[in-house]
């Protein structure tokens, strides 16, 4: 019998590897390229094709062979015989590319957010179901085993009755981040919804993870949404925002999630979700798969957890029926948030007194805008389950620029537009 190290075994392994086409291999797509490389080394997949406007070079494809390359996604799927398509392209292209794959019987790993509107999401879901293909949505944090551990701790009463869940994300992005692509920081582009804001894209995992822990991650679970959308940068979308979601579960219980996030942090840090109970709290740093359990009468406990890769899970689903970790229906509640952001009044520009400019972190000469005190406001929002406009230090509001969430259909008063500080900045 041939061992795993023999040419015969290697050939057999390659023959069973599922052919994958990657659409969008640069930007965040580089992460998917590296992940495909790892799984290819295990014999689970092979990179059959790359869909990019500019072909990848030999260095970018190191260790991945010579996949077929084309800017025509549909043709590439057909010519390669792909079984799986990984779609990591601009948000407003997700639905059309997902349906192109589904129509050809190709299974999907679709980056988050799955669509720029709830209508587009529904169109994608209908097409995937009609085609009978599997679809995994790329919320990688939901592959963390820590999510199950948090839910088990809650069910066991480790922190008493849950009072609410907070989520906090304080990141920073240089001005160049908003200039990297025509759709970056846009709500719409050439008449199409994009909705590339901090809640819906860069820190979308914070909300999606909180919804999964809450157990209210399906569209029908959302009972209410309150939004405050702000921006310090000269963009269309929000870069500093907060949201409160109320959920209603099938067992008659309810939940409340408050998320405070920014891309204008003073000292960028790891995002987290914190579950507040009557007898303690659980903090989950979801990018690190790390939990901190603090409860009355016990010493604090820190644990680290494994994570199941979503592409690996999709392969296991196709090979042996393993349950998908993030099927589209488990992102329905998140898509309700995307829709709320899409239909909300335009994000409120912050006054110039609320932010300052400092050198960026990318080493390319770009600057970055920082909202003064935002790190503490983000942490306070998650800790107190409060929106920015609700935070007070006893003598007055902690965020003087914050205004209560607008009533549906009402456009709030707008501050003067922040002026771009670099030529070419998105206005």
Q: pTM surpassing 0.85?
A: yes
Which tens digit of pLDDT belongs to each residue from 17-26?
Answer: 999 999 999 9
Are 134 and 236 part of one and the same domain?
no
Residue 312 lies in a domain: no
Which three-class secondary structure state does DSSP give residue 321? coil
Residues 6+ away with beta carbon under 8 Å from 118: 219, 335, 336, 338, 339
Helix axes 94-103, 73-80, angle to 10 degrees: 30
- Give the per-residue pLDDT at 395: 87
End position of a domain, from candidates 90, 113, 141: 141
CB atoms within 10 A of CB 226: 17
- Give the per-residue pLDDT at 406: 57
Residues 49/23, Cβ–Cβ less than 8 Å: no
- Give the per-residue pLDDT at 235: 98
Are 154 and 104 part of one and the same domain?
no
Residues 221/185, Cβ–Cβ less than 8 Å: no
- For CA atoms 353, 354, 357, 358, the dihedral sign is positive
Residue 103 lies in a domain: yes
Are 100 and 190 part of one and the same domain?
no
Are 240 and 344 part of one and the same domain?
yes
End position of a domain, from candidates 98, 117, 141: 141
Are 12 and 112 part of one and the same domain?
yes
Are 156 and 202 part of one and the same domain?
yes
* Cα–Cα dist 281/164, whole Å: 10
Q: Which residues of the chain have pLDDT under 50?
A: 1-12, 407-427
Residue 421 lies in a domain: no
Are 360 and 246 part of one and the same domain?
yes
End position of a domain, from candidates 83, 109, 141: 141
Which tens digit of pLDDT belongs to each residue from 162-183?
Answer: 999 999 999 999 999 999 999 9
Are 159 and 269 part of one and the same domain?
yes
Residue 131 structural domain: 7-141
State the maximum Cα–Cα separation within the chain, in Å, rounded to a whole number: 78
* Cα–Cα dist 211/207, whole Å: 6
Residue 336 lies in a domain: yes
- Give the per-residue pLDDT at 327: 98
Residue 398 lies in a domain: no
CATH number, domain with residue 252: 3.30.360.10
Residue 160 lies in a domain: yes
Count of structural domains, the chain: 2
Are 86 and 167 part of one and the same domain?
no
């Amino acid at each position: 019998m041939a061992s795993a190290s023999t040419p015969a075994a290697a050939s057999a392994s390659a023959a069973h590897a599922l052919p994958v086409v990657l659409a969008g291999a640069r930007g965040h797509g580089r992460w998917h390229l590296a992940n495909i490389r790892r799984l290819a080394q295990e014999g689970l997949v092979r990179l059959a094709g790359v869909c990019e406007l500019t072909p990848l070079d030999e260095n970018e494809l190191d260790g991945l062979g010579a996949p077929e390359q084309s800017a025509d996604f549909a043709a590439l799927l057909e010519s390669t015989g792909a079984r799986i398509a990984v779609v990591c392209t601009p948000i407003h292209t997700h639905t059309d590319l997902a349906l192109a794959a589904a129509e050809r019987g190709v299974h999907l790993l679709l980056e988050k957010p799955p669509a720029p509107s709830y209508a587009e999401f529904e169109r994608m879901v209908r097409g995937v179901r009609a085609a009978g293909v599997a679809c995994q949505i790329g919320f990688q944090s939901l592959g963390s085993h820590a999510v199950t551990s948090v839910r088990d701790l809650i069910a066991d009463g480790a922190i008493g009755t849950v009072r609410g869940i907070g989520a906090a994300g304080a990141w920073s992005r240089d001005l160049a981040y908003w200039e990297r692509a025509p759709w970056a920081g846009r709500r719409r582009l050439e008449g199409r919804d994009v909705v590339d804001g901090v809640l819906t894209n860069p820190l979308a995992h914070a909300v999606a993870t909180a919804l999964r822990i809450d157990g209210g991650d399906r569209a029908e679970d959302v009972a209410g949404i309150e939004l405050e959308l702000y921006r310090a940068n000269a963009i269309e979308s929000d870069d500093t925002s907060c949201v409160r979601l109320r959920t209603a579960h099938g067992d008659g219980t309810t939940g409340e999630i408050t998320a405070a996030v920014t891309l204008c942090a003073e000292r960028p840090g790891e995002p987290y979700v914190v579950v507040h109970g009557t007898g303690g709290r659980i903090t989950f740093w979801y990018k690190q798969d790390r939990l901190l359990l603090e409860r009355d009468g016990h010493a604090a406990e820190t644990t680290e957890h494994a994570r199941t890769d979503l592409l690996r899970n999709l392969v296991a689903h196709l090979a042996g029926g393993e349950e998908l970790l993030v099927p589209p229906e488990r992102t329905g509640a998140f898509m309700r948030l995307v829709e709320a952001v899409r239909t909300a009044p335009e994000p409120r520009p912050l006054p110039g007194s609320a932010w300052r400019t400092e050198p960026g972190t990318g080493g390319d000469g770009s600057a970055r805008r920082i909202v003064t005190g935002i790190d503490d406001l983000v942490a306070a929002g998650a800790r107190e389950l409060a929106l920015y406009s609700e935070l007070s230090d006893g003598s007055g509001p902690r965020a003087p620029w914050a205004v209560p969430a607008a009533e549906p259909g009402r456009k709030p008063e707008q501050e003067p537009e922040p002026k771009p500080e670099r030529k070419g900045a998105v206005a």
